[in-house]
Structure 1
Amino acid sequence: MTTFVLIPGAACDSWHWHLLEEELRARGRDVVSVDLPCEDEAAGLDEYADAVVQAVAGRRRLTLVAHSFAGFTAPLVCARVPVDLLVLLAAMVPLPGEAPKEWWRATRHPDSRVGRAGRDAQRAGADPAVEGLPESAVPGSAADPFFQDLPPGLAAEAAVRWRRQAETPAARPWPMEAWPPVATRFLLCRQDRLFPAPFLRTVVAERLGVSPDEMEGGHFPMLSRPAELADRLEGYSRSAAR
């Protein structure tokens, strides 16, 4: 049986996958939702990959689902354990030697204010009262680039669940020399405010040489559209198994 391995983005943990995990388990699927040491300033991308490898120990037929910043972590995992399929979900796509903090400028992100707001929110964690943060950096606000399409109650809980993101993994160069030889799919979200669809189409074409698949929703479709996302992941897994 395929095991779906859910790898969170910056400042997130397994809770941010919980609706998708419930959906997949209800369909009889095996799921591993990983928690990363995102608050640990001593932990870099290698330690993030170590956490995923430990979480999947003894399992086979792995489909990795990497959200957002996890685009820097998941390929490292593919180089350490056998992986059938890598699904990049609204994810960053790194180049060899590129530090995550350099990615925004290198990819020509169209709105430096959105990128800065995102990084500020991740560093601050869940506290919406952090002095000096712009409104767009506060998860669940009207200008939020993360949770804008969630029901108010779920958006509020997502804000409380936000973790502090250490800066260490963003400062170190991506250590791989090339993209790993694993089947890779990219799924973007058309209403994503953090990584707008036209921007990601260009990044994916330039860095992976493919056209991304697309679905409706904002940056967190695992919370806003878990059933639709589960349909997509099951379809990808079936195609990879042929």
Structure 2
Amino acid sequence: MATFVLIHGGGDSGWAWHLLEAQLRSRGHETVAPDLPSDQPTAGLGDYADAVAEAVGERRNLVIVGHSYGAFTAPLVADRLGADALVLLAGMIPAPGERPDDWWESTGCNKARDAAGLSAIEDPFESFYHDVPRELAEEALRREREESPGAGGEPWPLTAWPDVPTKFIVCKDDRFFPPEFFRALARERLGVTPDEISGSHCVALSRPQELATLLVSYLQG
């Protein structure tokens, strides 16, 4: 049995994982999906990592999963707790010393979004939730929270990527981050060819069964 530690993205909460959690638990695994203190204006990346570590407690056999902005926190937790695996799901792969606020320009993400025509999509039901059932997408939007400016302006503190086996998952139908951008960034920053899953940026809500199958497959690797 593994413990999947699920770290949500920006403006989100642990609720975003509830369908995936049900799938993982039905397969005999444990899950931890805390709310980051992102609604506290002075909270930093270290505070985010502290919240996750506290939620994990003494659990072991950890698979750390970071979605989107959660990729800035997931490696900190994996490094601190000695995780067995680290998975970034459409994750904003950080570099040492890089501030989240700077990531969009330093990685070329903004240019890639413009070139793909994604910057022009303003409706969140199209950019984030286009394949999520409408009622579920509305609930997700209702639960949105503010994101701490303290974390966004803080340099990523690790000097190197943690010595933890790392996977990257591209959402092939993502309308927020261009899939080809992430394919290139995963090769450049992690030296890995990403795995891919059909679905939107919020694939944990639209395809939890398929995502659970992919995550569990990593336990055999």
Q: TM-score, normalised by structure 2?
A: 0.94
**Equivalence for 1:69:** 69
**Amino acid in structure 1 at the alignment position of 2:217:** G
1:101 is aligned to 101
Task: Specify every segment of 5 or more residues in structure 2 that has no aligned partner in the other structure, as ranges.
Answer: none
Counterparts of 1:139 and 1:210, CA distance in 2: 30
Distance in 2 between residues matched to 1:89 and 1:72, nearest whole Å: 12
Per-residue CA deviation, residues 78-109 of structure 1 (Å, 9 max, x unaligned), is 22111000011010101111001111111111
- What residue number does 2:83 align with? 83
Cα distance between partner residues in 2 of 1:197 and 1:218: 10
Q: Is there any run of 5+ residues in structure 1 with no aligned partner, and where? A: 118-133
Point out 4+ residue stretches in structure 1 off by more than 6 angstroms.
Answer: 113-117
The Cα RMSD (Å) is: 1.9
Mapped contact 1:41–1:167 kept (Cα < 8 A): yes
What does 1:193-204 correspond to in 2, within 5 Å? 193-204=175-186
1:234 maps to: 216
SS of 1:18 mapped into structure 2: helix
Alignment length, in residue pairs?
219
Specify the alignment match of 2:113 in structure 1: 111
The separation in 2 between residues aligned to 1:115 and 1:89, in whole angstroms, is 22
Compared CA separation, residues 116 and 171, structure 1 to 2 (3 A): farther
Identity of aligned residues (%): 48
Secondary structure at the counterpart of residue 127 of structure 2: coil
Equivalent in 160, 174, 179 of residue 161 of structure 2: 179
Measure the CA separation in 2 of the matches of 1:212 and 1:194: 17
- Describe how 1:1-242 pairs up with structure 2 within 5 A: 1-109=1-109, 110-111=112-113, 136=122, 138-140=123-125, 144-239=126-221
Normalising by the residue count of structure 1, what TM-score does the alignment of the two structures yield?
0.86
CA contact (8 A) 2:79 2:164 kept: no
Distance 1:176 1:169, change over 3 A: same
Whether the aligned pair in 2 keeps the contact of 1:190 and 1:197 (CA below 8 Å) is: yes
Q: Could you tell me how far 1:168 is from its partner in structure 2? A: 1.4
Q: Deviations over 1:99-153 (max 9, x none)?
A: 0111111111112599997xxxxxxxxxxxxxxxx871x533xxx3111111111
Amino acid at match of 1:174: W
Q: Which amino acid aligns with 1:48?
A: Y
